[in-house]
Amino acid sequence: MSIIDQAAPIGVFDSGLGGLTVLQALRERLPHERFVFLGDSARCPYGPREPKEVKAFVLQICSHLARRGCKMIIIACNTATAAGLPAAQQAFDIPIVGVVMPGARAAVHMTRNRRVGVIATEGTVQQGVYGEAIHHLDAGIKVIQKATPEFVSIAESGFEEMDEGTTQAAPFSLKEECQRVAQGYLAPLRAEGIDTLVLGCTHYPLIQELISQEMGPSVTLVSSAEETAREVRAILSRRDELRSPGEDDGVEVLITGDDATKFTRVAQKVLGITPPITKVMLDEVREEGEGTS
């Protein structure tokens, strides 16, 4: 029964930098909204952690963003979505959207030969969330999932190197090495004859070109960042909760670690702006997140 404040910000969070691709996709589709982005950099990465621990982090961060008055929260991380989305939806009154379902739905819409690949971190692949989400929509689609964890470090190092003066056309000094890794990961997916590939980690849109070169023009890439932004726009638009143009739109970045310099640099690249960055302390995890509905 909560009254929605249309002017309230949208909360977006990730363990680290990857979620900035989701934030940027949201900004493009929702230019009048305000955003609060929280990067849990002190505890990054989430990938190798136990799902139970990640779920507790998700509830803790949602609690923080809800207290800041967010009208909606986007879990801009596949690992966190897989581990904590249902618990967060049960615990809070505001809509909470993950990145898995929108990506799965787009893949179902796009595939013609009904063979879909998914690349993601090992945690996301092991939990099988994309396979489940795709089959929930179309039980006849063949889903081939592949863990491609090194893509995360390639995506992050790509950014670092661009700062050191290489051009956008050749963002990696170790370009051939990256292509070799990509070939090793992606050749088996090519061999499976997929026509659609889901980028199931929010870091991957940063190296979309590398992946696209390896897969060839006949394979459509689905960015879960882009699809999540479409979904959020659909929700706010349907509910007539899109924000009117105003003076104070913009982005605020909160981080939990001591890497403000890195965040500033990457935010400038991904968002094209220099948002204010504040270090925050999250409250202790309490057992609050279970079953209010």
Residues taking part in catalysis = 77, 201
For the beta carbon of residue 97, count every other beta carbon within 10 angstroms: 22
Using the rule CB under 8 A, give the single segment among 112-120, 159-167, 182-190, 271-279 that binds a second copy: 112-120
Our finding on whether 128 is near a second copy (CB under 8 A) is no
The Cα 218–Cα 196 span in angstroms is: 9
Q: Which is nearer to a second copy, 237 or 274 (CB)?
A: 237
Residues of this chain, 219-248, that bind a second copy according to CB under 8 A? 234-235, 238-239
Q: Which is nearer to a second copy, 235 or 260 (CB)?
A: 235
Q: Which is nearer to a second copy, 42 or 235 (CB)?
A: 235
CB of 242 to a second copy, least distance (A): 13
State how far the alpha carbon of 185 is from the alpha carbons of 77, 85, 123, 146, 148, in Å: 21, 28, 16, 8, 6
Our finding on whether 174 is near a second copy (CB under 8 A) is no
Beta bridge partners of 199: 119, 223
Our finding on whether 32 is near a second copy (CB under 8 A) is no
Our finding on whether 269 is near a second copy (CB under 8 A) is no
Q: Which is nearer to a second copy, 30 or 210 (CB)?
A: 30
Our finding on whether 100 is near a second copy (CB under 8 A) is no
CB of 143 to a second copy, least distance (A): 9
Using the rule CB under 8 A, give the single segment among 19-27, 34-42, 138-146, 201-209 that binds a second copy: 138-146
Q: Which of 43, 49, 68, 114 binds a second copy (CB under 8 A)?
A: 114
Beta bridge partners of 252: 36
Our finding on whether 91 is near a second copy (CB under 8 A) is yes
291 Cβ partners below 8 Å, 6+ apart?
A: 90, 91
Our finding on whether 96 is near a second copy (CB under 8 A) is yes
The Cα 72–Cα 12 span in angstroms is: 9
Q: Which of 76, 136, 94 is nearest to 5 (CA)?
A: 94
Q: Which of 90, 157, 179, 213 binds a second copy (CB under 8 A)?
A: 90
CB of 193 to a second copy, least distance (A): 8
Range 170-194 burial, b when 16+ CB lie within 10 A, else e:
ebbeeeeebeebbeebbeebbeeeb
Beta bridge partners of 37: 12, 253
Binding site for a second copy (CB under 8 A): 1-2, 4, 85-93, 95-96, 101, 106, 109-110, 112-114, 133, 136-142, 193, 234-235, 238-239, 292-293
